[in-house]
Amino acid sequence: MTTPDVSSDAVLERHGLTRDEFGKIVSMLGRQPTLTELGIFSVMWSEHCSYKSSRVHLKTLPTTGPRVLQGPGENAGAVDIGDGLAAVFKIESHNHPSFIEPYQGAATGVGGIIRDIFTMGARPIALLNSLRFGSLDNPLVRRNMAGVVAGIGGYGNSIGIPTVGGEIAFDESYTGNPLVNVFCLGISKADEIIKGVASGVGNAVFYVGSKTGRDGIHGATMASAEFDEKSAEKRPAVQVGDPFMEKLLLEACLEVMRTDALVGIQDMGAAGLTCSTCEMGARGGAGVEIDVALVPQRETGMTAYEIMLSESQERMLLVAKQGREAEVQAIFEKWDLHAVRIGVVTADGLLRVKDHGTVVAEIPNTALTDEAPLYRRPFTEPAYLKEAQQLSLAALGTPAPAADVFRRLLASPTVASKRWVYRQYDHVVGTNTMVMPGMGCGVVRIKDTRRALALSVDCNGRFVYLDPFVGAQLAVAEASRNVACAGGLPIGATNCLNFGNPQKPDIMWQFVKAVEGMGAACRALDIPITGGNVSLYNETDGRGGLPTPVLGIVGLIEDSSTVVRRLFQQDGDVVILLGESRPELGGSEYLKTMHGLVQGLPPALDLAREAALQRVLIAGAAQRLFKSAHDCAEGGVAVTLAECCFSGTPGVDADLAATAAEAGFGDIATLFGESASRAVVSVAAGREREALDLAGKDGVPAAVIGRVGGGRVRLSVGGRRVIDEAVDAAERIWDEAIASRFERTVA
């Protein structure tokens, strides 16, 4: 074994550290780091762990509020939902691994976010996901998507946490950059939230869960003959998930947490043992000393470097109160798990790593966490923007007949039914699922209370591409509008910011503007962001996917018996359009599907109007006035009305007021324009006045546009019938669009 020169360009490059960062390490330590220390710094100072490019901007987001019990900085955020309970939730990405190995990449993404939730002492009760893929015409994309869906199902179904909702959108730009964002929510007692802290000098540090292997070790060590010939063997960079082990960990950890013998606990996710030890120490203002020789190992001959950097799945680090160790160990033994004492909490604030008693690393915890580098990366408006924002409808020629466009949009994978996907997810385990996938946003009841939670994840990357500031606001608006449609008051948000390479000033500009927009929208709608995740470098061969800041929103429904779903209920019910329709086709599904364009300005958004609309939706649900509610998104009000008829409801006959648009695009803009802050609701015949008054009181434009019934989707513009399609036929197009691509692949 040769000792490499840790300061050489080659070694620094493999660790993703700059010369300046190395200089900072030397000055913090007052000496050259050991190779193990360099590895520890490299993962903790990586973009993924340190948020070094994003942190200065994330700090501008609103994170506090009367309901916030835990904001950013812990394993997950938490908000008070009444009845002495807390909703603990977070969204996280697993984009890169899911591109390399779709099944395991997606599965371990699910595993990771579930651990974040139960680590806080909450029992996970719902999963959602937000996925992005390239075109389904591409067989590689289909294979990738099939693997991702199977992986999400494989993990969530086994561990027994229902996948109750989500969203999927398609765009060629995601071909080499699929996005796999997974959201998990759990419930805990509000005063029993567990934190990832190490404190109490002399308390034992325990390791529990899967053994540590060489999987997922920092890319730096993969071809590392010059570091250590014994570790030359290449290992997959993607970890392999074991939902059974995680299920045992989940049950055992929740049982241990009920004993009060625990000081703190953290899962070993990214950067594994390194991250969990130094973060717990830093949070508790304490030191942590461990001996890697005591860490259960799956392979022989692992070095301290490898053990500290391994990202083997399903592992937890916990600190037990002195004198209570046996109690903790006994609970793990019940579940056939072995809690192994690998170290102790110290007073010196250092992360001290020993290997058979010999110190191999000694670093102040805060040097790895709070004092990690921060960058204000330069940003400039992208060159593409001005041109992309120009849209001339006249240049598109005469539009196709509305009825043809309608069918094409129903068949667009972004609009079409996702049944082929969610049928592969167990969405009923736990017996809390009140709204089935495809019937609105996910809604889960909270057992032993009257309450329920409405959950939605949303983002339209096209809008963000065309105007990051407004696009991110629209993402907040859509996600919160979705929970409001079900009757949920938005009380908390988590974000997953998927962008390209932040070292490119135009990408950084997208990021900065999107964060500004998100912050402005969340402040205006009074929704604190309690945590989340940033995924940068979503680029392949220098080409990135659409900028995609996904919002996960939690909405509180006070009386679960008032939950509103998407479907029209009964012949004769009155259909009302809330909000204002303008001729806005910029960034629309229409332009993409019919003309292959991502062009124009996204729909304008007035946050005060959005807030008013959501108040009306929530009040209409609570008063049992609205029998159905569905927001207008991709495909405009025509698609919204059709979706309210799927599956098998009585149909709709509606007449929309024409919106003026240039060059003969009036009908198209009226039917398929994607103006923000709109929703379609239905009320029992005779209650329309009540609904219009409710909207009017809050200044929300509202118009009766038609009635439920007739077995057909009949849409007129200004009294002129333009679409007349049997519900069954329309639904078949919508239902088979995605499934048929995969059935063909399988056959």
Site residues, other proteins (CB under 8 A):
150, 153-154, 157-160, 242-245, 247-248, 251, 334-336, 422-434, 436, 445, 447, 560-561, 746
Please identify, using beta-carbon distances, which residue of 270 and 429 lies nearer to other proteins. Answer: 429
261 neighbors 271 (Cβ within 8 angstroms): no
DSSP symbols for 471-493: HHHHHHHHHHHHHHHTTPEEEEE
In this structure, what token pair is assigned to residue 45? 């100072």
Provide, rounded to whole angstroms, the least separation between the CB of residue 561 and other proteins.
Answer: 7
In this structure, what token pair is assigned to residue 222? 């993969």
Which string of b and e fits 179-211 if b means at least 16 CB within 10 Å?
bbbbbbbbbbebeebbbbbbbbeebbbbbbbbb
Provide, rounded to whole angstroms, the least separation between the CB of residue 715 and other proteins.
Answer: 29
Please identify, using beta-carbon distances, which residue of 249 and 638 lies nearer to other proteins. Answer: 249
Provide, rounded to whole angstroms, the least separation between the CB of residue 59 and other proteins.
Answer: 39
Provide, rounded to whole angstroms, the least separation between the CB of residue 243 and other proteins.
Answer: 8
Q: In Å, what is the CA distance from 380 to each residue of 56, 383, 466, 510, 599?
A: 17, 9, 15, 9, 20
In terms of DSSP bridges, do strands 652-656 and 628-631 run parallel, antiparallel, or are they unpaired? unpaired
Question: How far, in Å, CA of 333 to CA of 172, rounded?
Answer: 50
Provide, rounded to whole angstroms, the least separation between the CB of residue 248 and other proteins.
Answer: 6
Please identify, using beta-carbon distances, which residue of 153 and 549 lies nearer to other proteins. Answer: 153
Please identify, using beta-carbon distances, which residue of 76 and 434 lies nearer to other proteins. Answer: 434
Count the Cβ atoms, other than its own, within 10 Å of residue 384.
11
Gap between the terminal Cα atoms of the chain: 53
In this structure, what token pair is assigned to residue 476? 């907040």
Q: Cis before residue 647, ω within 30 degrees of 0?
A: yes
Please identify, using beta-carbon distances, which residue of 563 and 691 lies nearer to other proteins. Answer: 563
Provide, rounded to whole angstroms, the least separation between the CB of residue 647 and other proteins.
Answer: 12
In this structure, what token pair is assigned to residue 79? 């908000």
Residues labelled as active-site residues? 48, 94
93 neighbors 203 (Cβ within 8 angstroms): no
Kindly tell me the burial class for residue 8, based on how many C-beta atoms sit within 10 Å of its own C-beta (0-12, 13-18, 19 or more): exposed
Please identify, using beta-carbon distances, which residue of 20 and 336 lies nearer to other proteins. Answer: 336
Please identify, using beta-carbon distances, which residue of 41 and 422 lies nearer to other proteins. Answer: 422
Q: What φ, ψ does residue 165 adopt, rounded to 5°? A: 180, -175
Provide, rounded to whole angstroms, the least separation between the CB of residue 341 and other proteins.
Answer: 23
Q: In Å, what is the CA distance from 714 to each residue of 411, 653, 656?
A: 18, 5, 11
